Amino acid sequence: MVDFDAIRTQAISEWESLGKSPEPVIFIGTATCGRAAGASDVLEAINTALERHKIKANITQVGCLGLCYAEPLVDIIKPKRPRIHYGNLTPELAAQLIEDYLIKDNPHPDLALGTSGNGKLPDIPQLYELPVLKPQVRIALRNCGIIDPENINHYIARGGYSGLAKALEITPEAVISEVQKSGLRGRGGAGFPTGLKWEFSRKARGEPKYIICNADEGDPGAFMDRSLLEGDPHAVLEGILIGAYAIGANQGYIYIRAEYPLAIERLKVALRQMADYGLLGDNILGSGFSFHLKIKEGAGAFVCGEETAMIASIEGKRGMPRSRPPFPANSGLWGKPTNINNVETWANVSAILERGAEWYASYGTEKSKGTKTFALAGKINRTGLIEVPMGITLKEIIYGIGGGIPDGKRFRAVQTGGPSGGCLPESLLDLPVDYDSLAQAGSIMGSGGMIVLDEDNCIVDTARYFLTFTQAESCGKCVPCRLGTKQMLNILEDITGGHGKPEDIDLLGRLSNSVKAGSLCALGGTAPNPALTTLRYFRDEYEEHIVQKKCRALVCAALTSYYILPDKCQGCLICLRNCPVEAISGDKRQVHIIDQSKCISCGVCLEVCPPKFGAVVKVSGEEIETPARPIPITASKPSKGTTSHE
Amino acid sequence: MDLNAKKQLDDILSDYTRDSSDLIPILQAAQERFGYLPEEIMVGIAKFLKLPPSAVYGVSTFYAQFKLTPTGKRTVKVCRGTACHVRGADRILQEIEKKLSIKPGETTEDLEYSLETIACFGSCALAPVTVVDKAVHGRMTPQKVRQILTDSK
């Protein structure tokens, strides 16, 4: 029999030795986003510097701490010092840091974001006191960016698999009741109570039963599940085991999109380690409970995030949804009872069993317990992966954690829930983030994409963008979704293309409601949300596009035009030579003119016009008077410091 | 099917039983090997799994990952996720289309480049993102397009 206590004791001593060893420990975030930001080059520079100075150090690759705006991130622990977190490192800065901190003992407060662990250092704030982290409660992401995701001992040392050990000592019914008491709801977006879902599968008749982990994170603008699987795969896997025990399943699948190669790799490593420790396979931890888990890679179909479509895909078929009932709990994979939960839900399950339902339910609101992760991106200063208690307001997230809008621009809208969600205006910034408040406002919690739009983003174009996505991803099985999304997209393309008619607004609204009511699955059922919410909160912008032919954000190309200001043009020929359609006439030292009938609004002239001249302007809904043909320059040469137009 | 292709297919199929739920993994492995899914390979897979060829064709045309025509030596993927969209992915795509003279889903005549768009790469903090083979280029600008296309040569 496997002795879990012995495994745990050994794991804890390995983890604790990290801070005590005479060798410094260097952690580097090498999740996909860290690598994209240059972490591999930084790692190489660190290795070279260590070699050059003949320093022995323990280098550990970790997942994502969520401070994406500060990638690449490197942490260093020296003996008897707190862990110092450094951000925005380049290979040069990293090499310098190795020399300065490890040899000369200068901790470089200028490069440090903060410290964590015991002890303080002058001029370096504490990491978890920073505005970006202080409002956060990290439960699902508890280990991301802190532990080595490829070392199961790190996970176990921080409480991992204790939840499973506890679950195996009580009855499956007691496990379900614990999850029900925690108030956990499905984090994939729909928010169905997890414990209740398990109870349905537990009570369903038929053998064998299956468990599926939905890791087919398909919403554009969402990367929570990827980060979680890359940064702490065992948190998810432990949750799956607990769920399998609770419903009585012996076989499970992780359905993960093929676009996440690193997450797949980390899962494979984790599964091998679990098997080695007797945490997977037959007779887990000597309890008599057996469970086998397989990875199934998706092949690029958004609709497979829908439960019944995912089941079809695992069976090797086209991933098309079917009508429900019967629900997967009764008739799922190969017609057997099947329980599907999303990655983040599973990571919460392991925490709930480890620390108890009451502890979990102490976070959040009455109907939305616990925390939710969000991928905060778009026009925001501190993009990142965050986890907040339910009930926090949008404003606290965007302005507190996210640090507001860059470049002094004005907030326009926040988009939650991706292509199934909606755009919320400034007036709703005090809205608490929970399932019910967001649904009432016409959006959804969704899986966790949160994209901030500023004054340079066009609301109608954003609705068009999401419809382009859902229309292309519609599987085509049911008519409302297949044809409805196409017609909705046509209307939105008309409006952004300058051909909108006043009656289009009403038609789009009615069509949206029909698609919502008549579609077979959640893809079609929620596809109209971006259109419906923008119609509800930003109707004036639709009207501007249709009546005044104006796009105030200057995004819709068909509604924008470019002019050369006669008093600014220096007749330098640059725009004339770069215009792809020869719409610009002029000569040296002559004011250039754009022929509006030839212009395709590509914007090249504005881009190439030297900033010191700033002679090209972009406008919408207005005309600027220019000479009929090129005339000699009368304007004086610009003085230094003339600002450019945008 | 030529002998070499048949040998390669048999080699792939030796890892699988004749369980039709393995169709997608088999197609993925075949595409990895051949770069795309030639017709005779799909027919061979159908025979192996005792499925009608139409079922294999149905699956391979349903999922975006599968290609039925040869692809270029290098693949340029432009992310069209929300964060990339609001930070100007359209301009990046236009610039690449212009430089390569192909549209998404197409391959240059010299089989050098294929152009694709992806729904979301999940590196939203670095938006807009373009991926050339496995190299991720963040914070793209139209000006950087030329550079990443030359660098990859």
DSSP codes of every residue in A154-212:
HHHHTTTTHHHHHHHHS-HHHHHHHHHHHT-B-TTTT--BHHHHHHHHHH---SS-EEE
Give the residue, A494 or B147, on which the prediction is more confident: A494
Give the pLDDT confidence of A211-256 residue by residue, as tens digits: 999 999 988 888 999 999 999 999 999 999 999 999 999 999 999 9
Instruction: Tell me: ipTM over 0.95.
Output: no
Print the domain residue range for A543.
459-548
Percent of chain B with pLDDT over 70: 98
Q: What is the mean pLDDT of residues B4-20?
A: 95
A355 and A139 in contact (C-beta within 8 Å)? no
Min distance A301 CA to chain B CA atoms (Å): 6
CATH of the domain at A99: 3.40.30.10
Determine contact: B141 vs chain A, CB below 8 A.
no
CATH of the domain at A537: 1.20.1440.230
Task: Find the helix or strand (DSSP H, E) in which A259 lies.
Answer: none
B85 and B78 in contact (C-beta within 8 Å)? no
Which pLDDT belongs to residue A642? 41
B contacts of A300 (beta carbons < 8 Å): 63-65
Q: Quick one: A607 and A562 in the same domain?
A: yes
Q: Is the residue at B28 inside a domain?
A: yes
Which pLDDT belongs to residue A359? 98
User: Confidence band (pLDDT; 50, 70, 90) for A119?
Assistant: confident
Q: Is the residue at B68 inside a domain?
A: no
DSSP A544: I
Q: Quick one: B13 and B40 in the same domain?
A: yes
A368: three-class secondary structure by DSSP? coil
* Cβ pairs bridging A and B (under 8 Å): 129
A98 and A65 in contact (C-beta within 8 Å)? no
**Of the candidates A627, A310, A278, which has an alpha carbon nearest to the alpha carbon of residue A475?**
A310
Give the pLDDT confidence of A597-618 residue by residue, as tens digits: 999 888 889 989 999 999 999 9
Q: Quick one: B95 and B37 in the same domain?
A: no
Pairing of strands A411-416, A449-454: antiparallel
Which pLDDT belongs to residue A395? 97
DSSP A643: P
User: Confidence band (pLDDT; 50, 70, 90) for A447?
Assistant: confident
Quote the distance between the C-alpha of residue A564 and its chain's center.
41
Q: Is the residue at A145 inside a domain?
A: no
CATH of the domain at A404: 3.10.20.600
Last residue within a domain, chosen from B62, B97, B113: B62
Q: Quick one: A201 and A340 in the same domain?
A: yes
Q: Is the residue at A393 inside a domain?
A: yes
Q: Give the span between the Cα atoms of B119 and B125, in whole angstroms.
A: 15
User: Confidence band (pLDDT; 50, 70, 90) for A637?
Assistant: low
B40: pLDDT strictly greater than 50: yes
Phi, psi of A300 (to 5 degrees): 90, 65
A640: CB partners within 8 A, 6+ apart: A612
Q: Is the residue at B115 inside a domain?
A: yes
A644: pLDDT strictly greater than 60: no
Pairing of strands A560-564, A584-585: unpaired
- Mean pLDDT, chain A, rounded, equals 94
Q: Quick one: A121 and A249 in the same domain?
A: no
User: Confidence band (pLDDT; 50, 70, 90) for A640?
Assistant: very low
Q: Quick one: A520 and A577 in the same domain?
A: no
B1: pLDDT strictly greater than 50: yes
User: Confidence band (pLDDT; 50, 70, 90) for A643?
Assistant: very low
Nearest to A299 among B21, B66, B136 (CB): B66
Give the pLDDT confidence of A36-69 residue by residue, as tens digits: 888 999 999 999 999 999 999 999 999 989 999 9
CA trace torsion A86, A87, A93, A95 (10° rounding): 50
Q: Quick one: A216 and A319 in the same domain?
A: yes
Q: Quick one: A178 and A266 in the same domain?
A: yes
Q: Which residue has the tokens 């990142």?
A: A384
In this prediction the pTM is 0.93
Q: Is the residue at B117 inside a domain?
A: yes
Percent of chain A with pLDDT over 70: 98
The percent helix, strand, coil of chain A (3-state, each to 5) is 40, 15, 40
Print the domain residue range for B130.
74-151
CATH of the domain at B127: 3.40.30.10
Which pLDDT belongs to residue B152? 55
A82: pLDDT strictly greater than 80: yes
**Of the candidates A172, A147, A174, which has an alpha carbon nearest to the alpha carbon of residue A160?**
A147
DSSP string computed for A98-162: IIIIIIT----TTTEEEEESS--BTTB-BGGGSTTTTT---STTTTTTTS-TT-HHHHHHTTTTH
Q: Quick one: A85 and A204 in the same domain?
A: no
A643: CB partners within 8 A, 6+ apart: A614
User: How many domains does chain A contain in total?
Assistant: 5
**Of the candidates A7, A75, A4, A62, which has an alpha carbon nearest to the alpha carbon of residue A35?**
A62
Q: Give the span between the Cα atoms of A468 and A330, in whole angstroms.
A: 35
Determine contact: B24 vs chain A, CB below 8 A.
yes
Which pLDDT belongs to residue A641? 43
A346: pLDDT strictly greater than 60: yes
Q: Give the span between the Cα atoms of B129 and A152, in whole angstroms.
A: 32
A215: CB partners within 8 A, 6+ apart: A225, A229, A236, A254, A255, A256, A257, A260, A263, A342, A343
Q: Quick one: A49 and A109 in the same domain?
A: yes
User: Confidence band (pLDDT; 50, 70, 90) for A636?
Assistant: low
Determine contact: B48 vs chain A, CB below 8 A.
no
A320: closest chain B residue by CA:
B62
User: Confidence band (pLDDT; 50, 70, 90) for A580?
Assistant: confident
- Mean pLDDT, chain B, rounded, equals 91
Nearest to A301 among B25, B63, B118 (CB): B63
Pairing of strands A25-29, A58-62: parallel
Q: Quick one: A399 and A297 in the same domain?
A: no
Q: Give the span between the Cα atoms of A396 and A184, in whole angstroms.
A: 23
User: How many domains does chain B contain in total?
Assistant: 2
Q: Give the span between the Cα atoms of A114 and A122, in whole angstroms.
A: 11
Q: What is the mean pLDDT of residues A489-513?
A: 97
Q: Quick one: A196 and A322 in the same domain?
A: yes
Q: A289: how many CB neighbours lie within 10 A of its CB?
A: 18
B147: pLDDT strictly greater than 90: no
B149: pLDDT strictly greater than 70: yes
Last residue within a domain, chosen from A108, A129, A150: A129
CATH of the domain at A615: 3.30.70.20
B19: pLDDT strictly greater than 50: yes
Give the pLDDT confidence of A277-327 residue by residue, as tens digits: 999 999 999 999 999 999 999 999 999 999 999 999 999 999 999 999 999
Residue type, B48: F
Q: Give the span between the Cα atoms of A371 and A363, in whole angstroms.
A: 7
Q: Quick one: A333 and A383 in the same domain?
A: no
Q: Is the residue at B92 inside a domain?
A: yes
Q: Quick one: A292 and A342 in the same domain?
A: yes
- Among A259, A302, A313, pick the best mutation site for testing chain B contact (most B Cβ within 10 A): A259
- Among A443, A450, A469, A604, pick the best mutation site for testing chain B contact (most B Cβ within 10 A): A469
User: Confidence band (pLDDT; 50, 70, 90) for A210?
Assistant: very high
User: Confidence band (pLDDT; 50, 70, 90) for B120?
Assistant: confident
Q: Quick one: B40 and B106 in the same domain?
A: no
Q: What is the mean pLDDT of residues A576-587?
A: 92
Q: Is the residue at B125 inside a domain?
A: yes
Beta strands in B30-134 (DSSP E): 74-79, 113-118, 130-132
A424 and A443 in contact (C-beta within 8 Å)? yes
Q: Quick one: B122 and B146 in the same domain?
A: yes
Q: Give the span between the Cα atoms of A109 and A102, in whole angstroms.
A: 14
Q: What is the mean pLDDT of residues A412-441?
A: 95
B153: pLDDT strictly greater than 60: no
Q: Is the residue at B100 inside a domain?
A: yes
Which pLDDT belongs to residue A437? 95
Pairing of strands A74-77, A83-86: antiparallel
Beta strands in B28-120 (DSSP E): 74-79, 113-118
Q: Quick one: B54 and B79 in the same domain?
A: no
